[in-house]
Structure 1
Amino acid sequence: MKSLETSSKEALQDLLSKVPIIEIKSFKATPPTKTWAPDFIVEIDASGKSYSLACEIKASGQPRFVTAAILQLRDYVREWDIEATPIVIAPYLSLAARQACREKGVGYLDLEGNAWLSFDGVFIDHQVAEKPPSEHRGLKSLFKPKSAQILRTMLRDPDHAWRVVELSEAANVSLGQVSNVRTALLDREWGRATRDGFFLSDPQSLLDAWVQVYETPSGERKKFYTTLRGSALENAARSLMGEQGNGRTVFSSFSAAQWLAPYARASTNYFYADSEGLEKLISALHLVPVTKGENVVITLPKDEGLLLDIVEAAPDAICTNPVQTYLDLAIAGERAKEAAEYLRQEKLTWAR
């Protein structure tokens, strides 16, 4: 297997060779120094002029590591007072990492084919739409049920600085799970660590990434018909939710949004419930199982966190929290997407 440095040099050579006015003169290691230095320097000619490219390779292209590389490269060029164009190279650079490079005038290249380089009349810009499978897996892992409990807890108050133990208890997950999520948030620069704890520094980008990979929660989905309509159905459901005892039932999707940020009433009512809550709903709402023509849909989610991380939008109107409601609506069709965006504007707007 090729080393990352070898692959990086080959990728850069392939990129530069496609520009007719560029001639590669040499790849050379940086001289030994007591301070930081880039991994290698590329000497090139472009239209008869000589240029140097100072290249730093990062095994991870997450924003935290790329930001560090940008600062190191810029300091190196400034400290040694050399004419060199800084370039960051990684296996894959996220969109946020690429944007950070552009904003600082630092070139970039990843092994997936994304590249941007600009100096003295030379301009290269190539973007690849697809994320590599490893990036999809990493994001999906961050949003799995236990991790999602942590994120929903943090999104309730993004500015709150959490200690690991405190967040573990609040989200009802293990210390190890919190530590893993903390690392992932810091790497992507969606979180920031301080002496008081860590908090969400970019909740909007976090939510943007979450909705891109979100899938319907696994669990049994049951369809019913009831003769109850409008406030009669809602009041019957709220009366059930207000009772003390076993069985959990919450409004979800359109039905939750109707309480949190009313946009458009749907003809179908949606609930999450456990098995006991299901039986109580069947009785309270006079539900009849159907295969089509349903006006009540009840999901029994495998992730019990969806039944615990709730809000009381009105007396006894127990709903999935705004984040979960937004995610469910966002993948439920075009009309639901409009309701999702309205909910986000009303309940999920945080300053960056």
Structure 2
Amino acid sequence: MKVPSEQQAMYKVAERLAELVDVDPAEFHLEARHGAAHADSVLHVGPYTFVVEWKGSGTTAAVSAAIERVLDISRDFGGAVVPLVAVPFMGEVGRERCAAAEVAWLDLSGNARIFAPGLRILAEGKPNRYKRRGRPSTAFAPKSSRIARWLLMHPDEPLTQREIARATGTDEGYTSRVVGKLEDDGLIIRNSNGAIRPRDPDLLLDAWREDYDFSKHHLIRGHIASRSGDTLLRQLVKGLKQASVQYAATGLAAAWLLDRFTGFRIVTLYLAEEPSPDLFAALSFREDAPGANVWFVIPNDEGVFQGAAIQDGIRCVHPVQAYLDLKAHPERAGEAAQRLRDEHLRWRTDD
């Protein structure tokens, strides 16, 4: 379905709000506002007044900009309005950011979260009605994401496109196109010399997390008998070193190596090459066995090894990569990811 124009969208938002608040559609009044000092619209729906900021995309960057603007404008109204962000479809990260900022949201796909005095509306589970056909343009495709990773590894260092290209093994033309996309999405800023850095590293990481799909790597699950996750990890690393196979720990094993946050059962290792039957035999690895406790991952791009470092004698991916990969892991992966972010991915932000 085609995304509506801003004017069409605002009428759809008003109608949906009337339905959610349970008032007659005739009882809403839409005030169009224009200019940098105004929200897109002020909607009077029954006894409630909503200050609405519409974005034609639910990307992390777009939603974050809308939150900042609608909160700023709402302050001029005092406490008598409900700040609300409206988009075609609100993704997971956008929902999290709205909740953290205490901003209501609504999407034209049928989902909403509106908590305000005398009002508590939660509608979830509706699919995205505005998916674009074909492969969407993104700065976080496997090879493209090398640029975001490098920027997050050096968040306070303004970098030229040539420096980024050399560091990530991409040509300058390719780097320029990816940087352009990041700039269009409001995720990076340039200094007077044209060097770039993240506008807000947290925003860049959230945008990447929303787009990231661990299942796009080639995953081989299996089982190796062992007493504990730590013992299994060291057993595997010893075997891989003997076979001269390049590896890096990620997921729960990486979280353990980086922070010792929690024990783990599943050991996840990136391998630079497809493992051979002889390697499986040497490791006593049984593929697709019940109770799999080993995930070998053949990455869809070698960039996952960027920033890998030795932790307690074991090569481990950079905290940025470990954080992204934990999204697809079971056990206490959610808690481990948050701990990594709190302890290893805290950045100073300023414009």
**What amino acid is the match of 1:318?**
R
Q: Does 1:162 align with 2:164?
A: no
> Is the Cα contact below 8 Å between 1:240 and 1:280 reproduced in 2?
no
Q: Could you tell me how far 1:117 is from its partner in structure 2?
A: 10
Structure 1 residues 308 and 125: alpha-carbon distance in aligned structure 2, compared to 1, 3 A threshold: same
Q: Could you tell me how far 1:9 is from its partner in structure 2?
A: 2.2
Q: Could you tell me how far 1:16 is from its partner in structure 2?
A: 4.2
- With the length of structure 1 as denominator, give the TM-score of the two structures: 0.63
Q: Does 1:129 align with 2:119?
A: no
> Is the Cα contact below 8 Å between 1:193 and 1:199 reproduced in 2?
yes
The residue aligned with 2:217 is 218
> Is the Cα contact below 8 Å between 2:67 and 2:85 reproduced in 1?
no
The residue aligned with 1:322 is 319
List per-residue Cα deviations over 1:37-75 (Å, max 9, x = no partner): 877787x7978xxx9988775544624653686499679
The residue aligned with 1:66 is 66
Q: How many residues align?
A: 324
The residue aligned with 1:301 is 299
For residues 34 and 332 of structure 1, what CA distance do their matches in structure 2 show? 45
The residue aligned with 2:260 is 262
For residues 35 and 341 of structure 1, what CA distance do their matches in structure 2 show? 36
Q: Could you tell me how far 1:273 is from its partner in structure 2?
A: 1.5
List per-residue Cα deviations over 1:140-198 (Å, max 9, x = no partner): 945431243223222223333333343333333422123223333x1xxx544443644
Structure 1 residues 260 and 35: alpha-carbon distance in aligned structure 2, compared to 1, 3 A threshold: closer
For residues 49 and 253 of structure 2, what CA distance do their matches in structure 1 show? 60
Q: Does 1:251 align with 2:253?
A: no
> Is the Cα contact below 8 Å between 2:14 and 2:45 reproduced in 1?
no
Q: Could you tell me how far 1:336 is from its partner in structure 2?
A: 4.1
Structure 1 residues 135 and 202: alpha-carbon distance in aligned structure 2, compared to 1, 3 A threshold: farther
Structure 1 residues 298 and 38: alpha-carbon distance in aligned structure 2, compared to 1, 3 A threshold: closer
**What amino acid is the match of 2:66?**
V
For residues 35 and 160 of structure 1, what CA distance do their matches in structure 2 show? 31
Structure 1 residues 221 and 151: alpha-carbon distance in aligned structure 2, compared to 1, 3 A threshold: same
Q: Could you tell me how far 1:215 is from its partner in structure 2?
A: 2.9
SS of equivalent to 1:146: coil
> Is the Cα contact below 8 Å between 2:12 and 2:108 reproduced in 1?
no
- With the length of structure 2 as denominator, give the TM-score of the two structures: 0.63
The residue aligned with 1:81 is none
The residue aligned with 2:180 is 179
Structure 1 residues 240 and 346: alpha-carbon distance in aligned structure 2, compared to 1, 3 A threshold: farther
Q: Could you tell me how far 1:205 is from its partner in structure 2?
A: 4.9
The residue aligned with 1:332 is 329
> Is the Cα contact below 8 Å between 1:331 and 1:337 reproduced in 2?
no
For residues 164 and 98 of structure 1, what CA distance do their matches in structure 2 show? 33
For residues 46 and 131 of structure 2, what CA distance do their matches in structure 1 show? 38
Structure 1 residues 320 and 134: alpha-carbon distance in aligned structure 2, compared to 1, 3 A threshold: farther
**What amino acid is the match of 1:8?**
M
Structure 1 residues 280 and 26: alpha-carbon distance in aligned structure 2, compared to 1, 3 A threshold: closer
Match of 1:8 among 2, 7, 10: 10
Match of 2:347 among 326, 336, 350: 350
Match of 1:310 among 308, 311, 315: 308
Unaligned runs of 5+ in 2: none
Identical-pair percentage: 22
The residue aligned with 1:282 is 279
Unaligned runs of 5+ in 1: 79-83
For residues 267 and 347 of structure 2, what CA distance do their matches in structure 1 show? 29
Give matches, 1:19-168, under 5 Å.
24=27, 58-60=55-57, 62-63=62-63, 66=66, 70=70, 90-92=87-89, 94-95=94-95, 98=98, 110-112=107-109, 114=112, 126-130=121-125, 133=128, 141=138, 143-168=140-165
For residues 123 and 139 of structure 1, what CA distance do their matches in structure 2 show? 40
> Is the Cα contact below 8 Å between 1:55 and 1:87 reproduced in 2?
yes
